[in-house]
Amino acid sequence: GYTSMLKIARLCFQLSLLLVCPLITVSVSHAAEPGSSEKTLLLVDDHHVLYRAGTRRVFHHANAYAENPVVREDQPWELAIAWSSIYRNPQTGLYQLWYQAYAGERDPRKTHRCVVCYAESEDGIHFTKPMLKLHDFKTDRKPWEGSFPETNIILLASGGYGDRYCNSVLYEPGETDPARRYKMLYYDFSPDENQQEWPGWHAAFSPDGIHWTKSSRNPLNQTAYGGRTLQPLFTEEDPYKEQWDKRKNFMRKQWLLPLSMSDAVDVFYDPKQKEYAVYGKCWLNGPDGGLAWKHAMARSSSKDFLSWSAPEIVCSPDDEDAANTEFHNSPVFFYNDCYFCLNQILRARGEAVGAKADLMHIELMISRDGIHWDRPCRELSFIPQQPFSSGGIFTNATPVFLQDSIRFYYGGYTSGAIGGGSKLTDASQQSGVGLATLPLDRFAGIRPIELSAQSTLKKPLKNIGQVTLKPLDLKDIQEITVNADARKGKIQVELLTAAGFRVPGFSKTDAKPLTGDSLTHPVGWKKQTLKDLPAGKYMLRLHLDHAEVFAVTLKN
């Protein structure tokens, strides 16, 4: 049965942890033959394009799984489910999922208000929640009242001033210390070396993704908390403030740091910069200079996962955004020489003072250096909303890359993007972890425009266009494939010299037409092969006739 197969897969996975494997990054799109290598040129921007004529770029959204959510709130400690991370072991196929479960006051212990839970799956669709003897749960709230000595909770909060929040997990099979192959960043409150409590990022490490040890260096940094509308402090002032709240009868605490990242963390390894990187929300000052106005996107980096640089703002809402727009969080992943951000765009109900920010969609953003970001598809919701995620969608930095598709797992709930309120405890509340898929490399495609009728043309052209790539060194390239949809037409690939001259035997008329829909159309010519090319650099020109092209792959 499925449960037995899952146990076998899990056992095989745990055995594989005993082996030290090379570090796997998501920059490799799909498996190559032994001894070969591939380079995929994504056409999500014009980074690889010299110029194109008679074309336009079209962005595509992922397709949400119809039976979402794949993980539902069905345990006493799962009042609401949101942040998540996932990893799929390429050897065993086992999916490991970590997700945040908010329990509120169901358990009176502060450490149990917001926990990290664990689930696993053989196919990435049917998940089980193993009941472990790591952390218990106790509640007197109906219908869950009772004591639960076995749960799927794997990490508790520190029990400080505020709640533990979010969970970003990174798996590194090449880590030399087996106890640190799984790394987690999360947000919490705990005392520093001077016993002063601070909110900030916290780290935990694990050999198997289930048994976690918190870092002795927590908190790793210091972040702002509270202080909305207050003016920034002067340089000599202490950022920590206390004030007794007479109305609520408790000591209100504030940590007033300027240019501070906030309470969400998404981490990945940046192979270009050779460092760990966090992209997340960072507080901006308001029109009057007051603190905690709205969030932008900032970056922080580390070489050892423990010491993090001061945050650098890299993108923020601008003149093209509605005035009530902010970035809820901005997880980033690196793939095929490109940085992608699944930015959580948050908008308030209105501009009235105190309006709740509860409308959110996911915007795909693109960068080639991780610092300068393009926002070419602002109004396209990359992950469509479904009933369970109508209030908020919480993306992460851990897409799963399969042979023919990319899977995006995300949290969602109905009670509003920032949660809380009466809806959170209402019987109609839904939440869980959802799944959306995208055909491999099809973030965006280039297709011909309907009509080109410039005076420089002898006659109008309908649905005809061409894309000319920058010169490429084709030495040792054995095969070229094109990811394209040509069901309604065809694509012909020709070669030009770096100076722009056509190469005999490799022209448009010599090319074998590519038809149909395929992730790997093989490029070929009627009489010549790539082995017949003299040494040098060449430009690939893709002639599009009622067709759309997404990527080009060069294989040694």
Give the sign of the dihedral formed by CA 308, CA 313, CA 315, CA 320: positive
Query: CB–CB of 314/259 below 8 Å?
Result: no
CA distance 158 to 83: 18
Structure-block tokens of residue 378: 């602002």
Predicted local distance difference test score (pLDDT) of residue 11: 53
Predicted local distance difference test score (pLDDT) of residue 539: 98
CA distance 114 to 110: 8
Predicted local distance difference test score (pLDDT) of residue 347: 84
Predicted local distance difference test score (pLDDT) of residue 339: 98
CA distance 209 to 92: 15
Query: CB–CB of 266/278 below 8 Å?
Result: yes
pLDDT tens series, the chain, 556 aa: 544 555 555 555 454 443 333 333 333 334 344 445 899 999 999 999 999 999 999 999 999 999 999 999 999 999 999 999 999 999 999 999 999 999 999 999 999 999 999 999 999 999 999 999 999 999 999 999 999 999 999 999 999 999 999 999 999 999 999 999 999 999 999 999 999 999 999 999 999 999 999 999 999 999 999 999 999 999 999 999 999 999 989 899 999 999 999 898 999 999 999 999 999 999 999 999 999 999 999 999 999 999 999 999 999 999 999 998 999 999 999 999 999 999 999 987 555 555 555 678 999 999 999 999 999 999 899 999 999 998 889 999 999 999 999 999 999 988 776 655 556 667 678 899 999 999 999 999 999 999 999 999 999 999 999 999 999 999 999 999 999 999 999 999 999 999 999 999 999 999 999 999 999 999 999 999 999 999 999 999 999 999 999 999 999 9
Which residues does 495 contact at the CB level (< 8 Å), separation at least 6?
502, 503, 506, 507, 533, 538, 539, 540, 541
- Strand-pairing partners, residue 84, are 99
DSSP for 114-147, written as a single string:
EEEEEEEESSSSSEE---BSS--EEE--TTS-EE
Tell me the one-letter amino acid at 22. Answer: P
Predicted local distance difference test score (pLDDT) of residue 45: 98
**Residue 34, preceding peptide bond in cis (omega within 30° of 0):** no
Structure-block tokens of residue 260: 């501070």
Predicted local distance difference test score (pLDDT) of residue 16: 47
- At residue 444, what are phi and psi to the nearest 5 degrees? -155, 150
- At residue 425, what are phi and psi to the nearest 5 degrees? -105, 5
**Residue 143, preceding peptide bond in cis (omega within 30° of 0):** yes
**Residue 173, preceding peptide bond in cis (omega within 30° of 0):** no
Structure-block tokens of residue 358: 């509860």
CA distance 428 to 143: 15
Structure-block tokens of residue 142: 């109906």
Query: CB–CB of 295/284 below 8 Å?
Result: yes
Predicted local distance difference test score (pLDDT) of residue 429: 80
Predicted local distance difference test score (pLDDT) of residue 19: 39
Smallest Cα–Cα separation from 513: which of 529, 491, 545, 496?
Answer: 491
Give the pTM: 0.92
